Copies of this chain bind each other. A is one copy, B any other.
Amino acid sequence: MASRLLHRHIREQLKDLKEVTHESLVVGAIENAFQLMDEQMARERRGHQVEGGCCALVVVYLLGKVYVANAGDSRAIIVRNGEIIPMSREFTPETERQRLQLLGFLKPELLGSEFTHLEFPRRVLPKELGQRMLYRDQNMTGWAYKKIELEDLRFPLVCGEGKKARVMATIGVTRGLGDHNLKVCSSTLPIKPFLSCFPEVRVYDLTQYEHCPDDVLVLGTDGLWDVTTDREVAATVDRVLSAYEPNDHSRYTALAQALVLGARGSPRDRGWRLPNNKLGSGDDISVFVIPLGGPGSYS
């Protein structure tokens, strides 16, 4: 009788407990770590005269699972048997438009009298006051018409496209660490409230697949991805790794080097050029290659 009652009591207690998986604890710990890191940078930036900020891409391996945490515009992909598995997405003014607009809408004081949270297909001209123009607000994915008012003449919170997209005409990456002192150009408006230090964490279960020595996780900064597609990276993985013995560990270093050199290009008469004659990457190019097959004796 007591045994049955005890069971019922335990069931009753567990009923109100939301499911907290082992995985969600690791994800939460990583999310918390990013926030603590950002707070530490805020505290120490004066004593150490450290300004500026950075994006962050972190890999944690725990109990058979790979956790990839990304805050910024770096990227991680898995190349497995030639197949590409995205392990992150970039956080830019374009991909985070609605989050940024919502913040500007709810906290208009963050925009000063200089910016509008609304988006227009192009800059609104003073002579267009009172006319109808397409716009998009924080709730919308499509475009609709509105009558242009005085506030719509302000500079848009999010403007530009692709690599040139900017928040408050200043920064092109919307997640990362640091940048606590960053201000809008010729203004006292702080940018930091619009930047998030929280990563998106994706989980890859290593035990669900038997990995071979050519299966790798590739991490790269924007310098790599600005001029290299996922497909091209996968082709380089195949080309470089197949030129080395499976047991030769230098093959992964050689692959990382090949990816960096491919993005940098070669010096020609008019600057560093890629084989297709486009300009090589002028940005920082850092690449990590992590073999997923693990150490072992491959034949």
Give residues in A with beta carbon < 8 Å to B. Answer: 16-18, 20, 23-32, 35, 102-103, 106-107, 121-123, 134, 136, 139-144, 161, 196, 198, 201
Q: Among B17, B143, B198, point to the contact of A28 (Cβ < 8 A).
A: B143
Known: A16-B123, A18-B161, A121-B17. A28 touches B107 (CB 8 A): no
Measured between beta carbons, the chain B residues less than 8 angstroms from A134 are: 20, 25, 28
Measured between beta carbons, the chain B residues less than 8 angstroms from A17 are: 121-122
Q: Are B29 and A196 in contact (CB under 8 A)?
A: no
Q: Are B198 and A142 in contact (CB under 8 A)?
A: no
Q: Are A141 and B27 in contact (CB under 8 A)?
A: yes
Q: When chains A and B are docked, how far (Å) is the Cα of A31 from the Cα of B136? A: 10
Measured CB to CB, the nearest residue on chain B to A103 is B106
Q: Among B31, B107, B121, point to the contact of A142 (Cβ < 8 A).
A: B31
Q: Are B24 and A139 in contact (CB under 8 A)?
A: no
Measured between beta carbons, the chain B residues less than 8 angstroms from A136 are: 28
Q: When chains A and B are docked, how far (Å) is the Cα of A143 from the Cα of B123? A: 42
Measured between beta carbons, the chain B residues less than 8 angstroms from A143 are: 20, 24-25, 27-28
Q: Among B31, B106, B141, point to the contact of A141 (Cβ < 8 A).
A: B31
How many copies are assembled?
A: 2
Measured between beta carbons, the chain B residues less than 8 angstroms from A23 are: 142
Q: Are A142 and B103 in contact (CB under 8 A)?
A: no
Known: A18-B161, A103-B106. A28 touches B122 (CB 8 A): no
Count chain B CB atoms within 10 A of each CB in A30, A141, A142 and give the residue with the most.
A142
Give min CB distance, A2 to chain B, whole Å: 24
Measured between beta carbons, the chain B residues less than 8 angstroms from A35 are: 139
Q: Are B32 and A144 in contact (CB under 8 A)?
A: yes
Measured between beta carbons, the chain B residues less than 8 angstroms from A102 are: 102
Q: When chains A and B are docked, how far (Å) is the Cα of A140 from the Cα of B17? A: 18
Q: Are A141 and B24 in contact (CB under 8 A)?
A: yes
Measured between beta carbons, the chain B residues less than 8 angstroms from A161 are: 18
Q: Are B29 and A201 in contact (CB under 8 A)?
A: no
Q: Are B106 and A142 in contact (CB under 8 A)?
A: no
Q: Are B106 and A144 in contact (CB under 8 A)?
A: no
